[in-house]
Amino acid sequence: MSKKIIIAGPCAAESEEQIEIAVREAGKRGVDFMRVNLWKPRTRPGFEGLGEDGLPLLAKVAKAGINPGLEVIMPEHAAMAMKAVLPVLPDGGQLLLWIGARNQNHVVQREIARVCAADPRVVLMVKNQPWPNEAHWEGIVEHVLAGGISKDNLLNCHRGFAPTGDNPQGFRNVPDFAMMDRVKAKTGIPVIYDPSHMGGTVPNVFAIGKMAAGQGIDGVIVEVHHDPANAKTDKTQQVTWTEFDELLVTIFPGR
Ligand code: PEP
Ligand code: MN
């Protein structure tokens, strides 16, 4: 089995203490990237992340030998994260930046890619848009490629689509594996699976994880918090680090 890409960590960076704990736990597990999310678009206004105040946390994580990952909403965010991280990134390290599901301005997507393309240590991940539409999803990939990012530095993320039909289990978003396979075949970009934003609750994150076993996914992004009950965002879907270990076995039996 080829090596899977593992991205894990809290929904949002909240404090130095929380990130220190996450660095320790992520380090023990040798994750490829840790979520250190500073800018959080929210369904309704609320805690929208530490923003620029959190940039030193990115550097701290990188210096600890863990590759940081975060969402960027604007090209300026990408530039700020790169400025904070790249000078202190150990040899062989990488910075993961991603474009979230809500960020569907193609001009902004292309400009973010243009900023990322300036340094080969930056990996850009695009998440599918919230509504099911194959052409739109492929279009996101095409727009960021048009911005100059190399295919080798690009990841695609399936975070599910808003439910349009029966949804007896109450998933927040539902996967479409057939579409995912077609987009992967057409674009040639590896697919990262996001059970957290599909599940919405911990039992559903596990159910969504189970559905992915044996599917053509190349990695996962999972929200993990040391104290989910007191998380500032997405508290119902963040798993503990122990649950994360169980979830990985569910998704990748025999990994
Ligand atoms: C996230 O990954 O933090 C996130 C908000 O997910 P999405 O953009 O898929 O909703
Ligand atoms: Mn979240």
127: Cβ below 6 Å to ligand 1?
yes
Q: How far apart are CA 214 and CA 225, in angstroms?
A: 26
Name the residue at shortest CA distance from atom 9 of ligand 1. Answer: 101
pTM: 0.98
Q: Name which of 142, 84, 87 is nearest 113 in CA terms.
A: 142
Name the residue at shortest CA distance from atom 5 of ligand 1. Answer: 100
End-to-end CA distance of the chain: 8
State the chain's mean pLDDT as an integer. 97
pLDDT at 37 over 60: yes
Count H helices, E strands: the chain?
9, 8
Mutation probe of ligand 1 site: the residue of 34, 35, 71 with most atoms within 8 A of C-beta:
71
Ligand that comes closest to the CA of residue 239:
2
Structure confidence at residue 255 as a pLDDT band (50, 70, 90): confident
Name the residue at shortest CA distance from atom 6 of ligand 1. Answer: 100
| 96-128 residue pLDDT tens | 999 999 999 999 999 999 999 999 999 999 999
pLDDT value at residue 42: 83
Mutation probe of ligand 1 site: the residue of 99, 124, 131, 194 with most atoms within 8 A of C-beta:
194
pLDDT at 21 over 80: yes
Q: What is the mean pLDDT of residues 48-54?
A: 97
Mutation probe of ligand 1 site: the residue of 7, 40, 127 with most atoms within 8 A of C-beta:
127
The string of DSSP codes covering 174-190 is B--HHHHHHHHHHH---
| 181-192 residue pLDDT tens | 999 999 999 999
pLDDT value at residue 254: 81
Q: Which residues contact 217 (CB under 8 A, 6 or more apart)?
A: 4, 158, 180, 191, 192, 193, 251
**Percent of the chain, pLDDT > 70?**
100
Strands 154-158 and 68-71: unpaired
| 188-233 residue pLDDT tens | 999 999 999 999 999 999 999 999 999 999 999 999 999 999 999 9
Q: How far apart are CA 206 and CA 248, in angstroms?
A: 10
